[in-house]
Structure 1
Amino acid sequence: MAKVSISLDAELVVEVMVLAGVGSPQDAIEAVVRDYIARGHRTEARTELKDEALRELDAKPQEPQG
């Protein structure tokens, strides 16, 4: 896998390390990024299920009103 080097504020990285309970800056930032991506996938899955349910309701023939 390709690697990317970035610069971050040291205080920000230390705070992430403390919150994540990780001793390595690289591991701490990687954990945060992986969590962010996983959260995005979970959100997509939830909204996709909701959208499918709404499409099924719209697809059903409706009884005439009036």
Structure 2
Amino acid sequence: MAKVTVELDAELVVEVMVLAGVGNPQDAVELVVRDYIQRGHRTEARTATRDEALRTIDIKPRLQEG
């Protein structure tokens, strides 16, 4: 896998290390990025399920009133 070098503020990285409970800055930032991506996928899955349910409701013919 290709590697990317990114410069970050030291205080930001230390905060991430503390929150992630990891002693290595590289590992801490990688965990945060992976978690962010996983949350995005879970949100997409929930949204897709909800949108599909709404589409199913909208497709059903409506009864004419009156």
TM-score range, shorter chain: over 0.9
Q: Matched residue of 2:64: which SS?
A: coil
Unmatched segments (≥5 aa) in structure 2: none
State how far apart, in whole Å, the 2-side matches of 1:22 and 1:65 are. Answer: 63
In the other structure, the counterpart of 1:39 is 39
Matched, 1:59 2:65: no
TM normalised by structure 2 equals: 0.97
Q: Say how many residue pairs are matched.
A: 66
Deviating 4+ runs (over 3 angstroms): none
Deviation at 1:65, TM superposition (A): 1.8
| TM-score, structure 1 normalization | 0.97
Measured against aligned partners, the alpha-carbon deviations of 1:3-61 in whole angstroms (never above 9, x if no partner) come to 00010000000000000000100000000000000000000000000000000001111
RMSD value, Cα: 0.5
Provide structure 1 residue ranges, at least 5 long, that are not aligned to the other structure.
Answer: none
Q: Residue 48 of structure 1 corresponds to which residue in structure 2?
A: 48
